[in-house]
Amino acid sequence: MGSASFLLQARPTVCWHSVSVSLSRTHVEDSLLRLISLLIGGCLSQASISGCLSQASISGKSLIRERDLFFSSRSVVARTNLRRLENMKSWERIANAALAGLTLAPLVVKVDPNLNVILTACLTVYVGCYRSVKPTPPTETMSNEHAMRFPFVGSAMLLSLFLLFKFLSKDLVNAVLTCYFFVLGIFALSATLLPTIKRYLPKHWNDDLIVWHFPYFHSLEIEFTRSHIVAAIPGTFFCAWYATKKHWLANNILGLSFSIQGIEMLSLGSFKTGAILLAGLFVYDIFWVFFTPVMVSVAKSFDAPIKLLFPTADLARPFSMLGLGDIVIPGNTRN
């Protein structure tokens, strides 16, 4: 009776890849209970045992078929997701190639600046949005409070630059800004090129971390890999080219890198945060552009890759301009 009581209390359970399937009150259990009751009642016969075992066998085969169907369906879903990911990667590579071609095209052919502005902005937003999709959610997002403060912080920086250009030498201010954007540009362009460069480097170059401590400030450290060093080489070249020549192509390459990194790294938490940010920047633009000379004065004096330049055929106005904020902000409100 003790063994029979133990069998009556047992509930077999099968785990399929973290999915627990309870078999209580199934055909298998019913067959076992019937067999046990026959044993207890003394009414056991060869035919009864055969019938119970046959039912258990049929139920077990059904269970195996259900398991195989479960894993088969998961395999189909996995293959579908893999195909979608490969398609997304293909489109992202096409967008990168189109963006590079569109950036270099004015060097050899005449491109309508208005069309160039629209296509460059759209392709930059697409590439930045694709790169912002990560396996894990972002650790930092912009909150509603940050969105409310953003226009005030931007106003303070804009007014500070206006005062610097007004009371100091414009060449001196631009020299300091050039040094700042030289260092910032190396990091931005290296981070933009890194995913492409990684595909052609050995795996241990991408995985093995190198930790460098600042001299005299050992608590400060930088972690990087050999891949980062390789990616920094073209970044340093373009930054040096921009610092010495201020060529519009070098300006645009750095500007596109800033835009892509801004869209990739900055994350808005919700629609509400995006609406607050856009409403605040709407008032910010109207006030500083139409009611004060601050924005126009700083834009004319500020010599840094904070805008994209598109060559035109008009000698009086050789370039059309598009501010990086007009790319990054709409790109970050994609969520």
Catalytic residues: 285, 326
Judged by phi (left if over 0) then psi (alpha if -120 to 50, else beta), residue 49 lies in: alpha
Torsion of CA 106, 109, 113, 119, to 10 degrees: -80
Beta bridge mates, 28: none
* Per-residue tokens: 203: 């795996």
d(CA 36, CA 49): 10
Through-space distance between the first and last CA atoms of the chain, rounded to whole angstroms: 65
Residue 302 CB-density burial (10 A; 0-12 exposed, 13-18 middle, 19+ buried): middle
d(CA 45, CA 30): 18
E runs forming strands in 194-332: 210-214, 217-224, 307-311, 319-323
CB 67 within 8 A of CB 16: yes
Dihedral of alpha carbons 277, 280, 283, 285, sign = negative
CB 229 within 8 A of CB 219: no
d(CA 191, CA 129): 15
